[in-house]
Each structure stands twice: as structure tokens, then as C-alpha cells.
Amino acid sequence: MPELRSDAPDAYDESSGAKFVELDHHREHGLRLARHLQERGGQVWLWVPIGCVPTTFAARYPEAMSPASDKIPCFTHPKYQEYVNAFLQELVETYPLDGMFLVRDDNGGVCTCDRCQEYVSTSRTKNAVWEQYLVIYDWLREHEFRGAIAVYPYHDWYYPALDPLLPSDLYVVGHGAGAAVLVRDYRYVGPMGDTWLDNLYANFRVPPSPRMRRLLGDRGSFWIGGAYVGCELPWEAIGYFGWEPTAAANTLRYDWACRELGVERALAFVQMNDVYEELWDLNALYMPPADWMKLDASQRAQVVQRGLDGARQLRSTLKAVTPQVASDQFQRWLGHMELFAPFFEYHLQRLDRFAKVHDAVLSHRAALDTDEGLPPDVRAAVLRDYQAIYDAAEPYAAAMKLAPDGMLSHCRWMTAPYKEWMAGYDQWLDGQLALKQFAGRMDLATDTLQPGHPFTLRITLKNLGICPWVAAAGHRLELLGDAARLGLPAAWDYSGDPLAPGDRRTVELSGTVPAAPGTAHVAVKFLTPYRVPEPFLQAEIELMWE
């Protein structure tokens, strides 16, 4: 759809994350990569998020967006259907794909307008997301796509009642696919047990029951997410539990360590795994931010204590393994593992401090609208806890620099510096909070303007959210409209003292009035410091001078 293309530097395709101005580069790179892999016997499967559109789509077709959000398309609107058709056609005509993963990823939503609800009520599955998967499946097969098609039910778990409603050759893999093992053809099922924290760190998980171990024991499986020492343990596990269906996870670990590390080192390796496994379980049960906010203060304190104790034990057991490993084969892996304890400690403390800030602000919610703002002692505590979040990141940042070269080079942007946008803390979390993380008011004013003379645009900001606004986090004012003609800056990055919830501040920006009489329109947006910055405050002002 050429009308969606844009030369704007910040316009991008939500489905791929690629900026429009870089599409040619990404297309050529993707084609070269696909050829390289396929010439060597590999397969190329594409990750295809649904329920999202380019950033230009909402501006061009606002009527095709969900009434609830300008980021979620209305999946029954003709224009969105046209976009999906054009998108899929470009994929199958351009790229030599062996398969596609369909996923409603973190950036995908579901429209609940009357038309969409009526469509779902008469559909095959009575499920808005699975219907969208099936529409895409049908389109691909009707257009003679012969590759594999998989659903990765990340937010929308598979349930057995779906089975007779789905094509027999539709793969169900990844998060949310576990129940498919019970009813579907096992050749088309691949569960996975990791979580967002495990995306960055090595982990080893095995199916939790003897039956599932047998089912998954003699073939490749998504169930085992990540691995120690590259992918060695998962490859060991593929056949191990087929022959030893009653073996425990530690049996495999011990046998592997006896062979690879030596008998005298195997027990220390197993003990290290036990501690690591407990920390992983704490993460899975409590540490996604939305789950953390559901705990009361005493529950949080218990998890914090367990987590900090576990991190200390992990350091101790890892230290017991490290001196016994002489081979360079394992040094990079051990260096990676040494990074886990400081990461875990930082993130656990970050959760705890964020919750304290949230509870303190929420308990004085009425004070936010007063001229005085939060009581002085509460304000000081909020700023102190918030600053502690940043201070606690420093030991992790220092430890990260010691990781073996290349281990985290491709995800370093995700891990340092830790700012407000980190996974789980951006827009996703707002739905779990009584107050949004970033909210407020913004007013614009100037003195009387005189042709040819300097003037000052005063932007008054009031913080009405949970989080203080701090320098270098990514808060940014953007000035649009006639700002450039008036000599105003295009942007202002937040600097100076923190603005606590309830605080007010006026930012003064200088410009120059044109010599000829006239009028101007200036729009100002205040952007969040999320991964994808978005305006949370907007204001406009009409100016005139004679």
C-alpha cells in the first residue's frame, strides 16, 4: 500500500520494527540471509505479528482503528483487510519462506467494536485472535503458499476445544501451546516454558511429567528454552528422556557434568542448577511487573528475601564450580552465568522500589492536584526510592562489562542503562495500575508578541502520574507546527531537577517573532521514555502579532 510509505525518520512498520526509510536495506539483507541459509540446508521461517499496523496506518485511516486505541486496528474493517492482503502478498512474492509464525506479540491488540464482536459471535472458534490466525492461514493456502504455518499463541493460549476447528497441518508452538500436546498430532506441537527474563539468560527446563517427557523425548522441541553451554543440554535431553522416562532433571545434569566436567565436579554443578532453578521459578511466579503489583507488601518482602538469599547461594555454588573448570570450553559460559546474580538482584530490587513508589503516591492521590503536591516527607521518600532504582543499576552495568566479549553484544541495548521502558514497565503495566506511570497537564503561554523581537514560550508541566520525571531517562518535548518559523527549538530533552508526582515546573524556550505581521500555530508534545516513545501530554497555542 504505497500510501502508507513515508520518508519521515520516525515512521516505521510495527509488524517488523523496520523504519520505512530503511526498508530497502532490510529487504536486501533479508534476501541475502535467506539465500545463505537455504543454500546450506537451513529453513527460513518468518515471525509475523498480527493485530498491529504501521505507524502511518492510523493517521491515514483513523476509521479503521479500534475505538479503544489508535494503536489497535479494527480487524473487520475493509481497509485493515486490504492492508493484511497487501502485506501477505508482498511477503510470499518477495521472500523464499519455508514457514511462518503467526503471533499476537506484545505490540498486538484486539478490537472490540460492535462489528468485530458480531463477527466473532458467528465465527468458527468464537475467539477474535484465533479467527485472525485462521483468516491468514486460509489466505496463504488459497494463494498456494506451500510452506509451514504455525501459531505462536503468546497471549492467547491454545485450549483443546479448538482442536477440531483448526487445520490438521497448523503448527501450535511456543508460549501457550502446552495443552496442544494432549490432543494434537505431536508432529505439529512444540511448547516452550521460558519467560521474558529467560530471553536474556541461559536456562534449562524439562517437561514436568513423565508422560510429557516421553512425548518430547525423541524429537526436537520448543519446550526446552535456552541452555547451558550453548545448546548442549537441550540436545542431550532430546533423546535422554525417551530412554529414561522416569529420570529427574538432575539425573541428566549429573550425568552430563560427570562426562564434561569430571565426577568430582558434577555435584557442585547440580547444586548450582538447583539454586538457579529456584530463582527462575521466583521470576516466573512473581516477577513479571503486572504480577508483582498484585502482591501485598508482606508478600513482596518475602519474595525479595528469598531472591536475595538465592542470588547469594548462586554466587557461592558458581564459585564452587568455576575453579574446577580448567578448559577454555566453558569459560565464556561461566562468565555469562556470573552475570545472572547481579541482574536478578537489580531487577528484584527495582520491582520492590517501584512498588513502594507506587503505593506512596497512590495513598496520597488527592494531594497531586493541590498546589502543595505530596507531603514533603512522602515526596522525599518517592524521589529517594526512585533514585535508588538508578543507583542499583550501576553494579549490574559494571558486571556486564566483564562478561566475555560478544556474549551480550546484540542485546546490550536492552540491558543498559535500565530506564523506565524496560520490558514489563512500559505501556503494558499501566492497565494494572490505578494511576498511569506517566500522566499530567501541560499549558502553553507567551507574553505579547512584537514583530522582529525575541519572545519566550512558557510550557508549564504538572506531574500527575506515578513516576518522577528525571533527566537522561528519555522524556522529551517536541515542538511542531510553526515552531521552526518562530525560531523555537524542535525538541527539548528533560533536564534539571526531578519532577516528583504533584510537582509543577515551567520550561522557558526562546524564539524570535518574524518581522512581518502574521499568525502562527504551535503544537507541543511531551513523550514518554518507553521503547517506542509516545506522547502522553499534548497542547496547542495560536499566536498573532501585528
Q: Which residue has the higher pLDDT, 225 or 379?
A: 379
Cα–Cα dist 137/174, whole Å: 18
Average pLDDT on 57-76 reads 91
% of the chain residues with pLDDT over 70: 85
Mean residue pLDDT across the chain:
85
Q: How many helices (H) and strands (E) does the chain have?
A: 17, 14
**With bands split at pLDDT 50, 70 and 90, how would you rate the model's confidence at 407?**
low
Is the pLDDT reported for residue 137 higher than 70?
yes
At residue 540, φ and ψ (nearest 5 deg) are -135, 155
Closest among 112, 116, 88 to 102, alpha carbons compared: 88
In sequence order, what DSSP letters do the residues of 414-450 get, joined into one string?
Answer: HHSS--TTSTTSSHHHHTT-SS-SS-EEEEEEE----
Is the pLDDT reported for residue 44 higher than 50?
yes
Closest among 366, 302, 355, 315 to 467, alpha carbons compared: 355
Is the pLDDT reported for residue 217 higher than 50?
no
Is the pLDDT reported for residue 328 higher than 70?
no
Instruction: Count how many residues are written for the chain.
Output: 546
Q: For residue 416, what pLDDT is reported? A: 52
Contacts of 2 (CB under 8 A, 6+ apart): none
In sequence order, what DSSP letters do the residues of 462-476 get, joined into one string?
Answer: EE-SSSPB-TTS--E
Least confident among 66-75, 123-132, 451-460, 490-499: 66-75
**With bands split at pLDDT 50, 70 and 90, how would you rate the model's confidence at 192?**
low
> Cell numbers at residue 367, please?
494531594
Least confident among 103-107, 190-194, 439-443: 190-194
Q: For residue 169, what pLDDT is reported? A: 94
Is the pLDDT reported for residue 336 higher than 80?
no
pTM: 0.72
Is the pLDDT reported for residue 73 higher than 80?
yes
> Cell numbers at residue 47, please?
515471525
Cα–Cα dist 138/454, whole Å: 63
Question: Could you tell me if 34 and 96 are in contact, meaning their C-beta atoms sit under 8 angstroms apart?
Answer: yes
**With bands split at pLDDT 50, 70 and 90, how would you rate the model's confidence at 193?**
low
Is the pLDDT reported for residue 543 higher than 50?
yes
**With bands split at pLDDT 50, 70 and 90, how would you rate the model's confidence at 124?**
very high
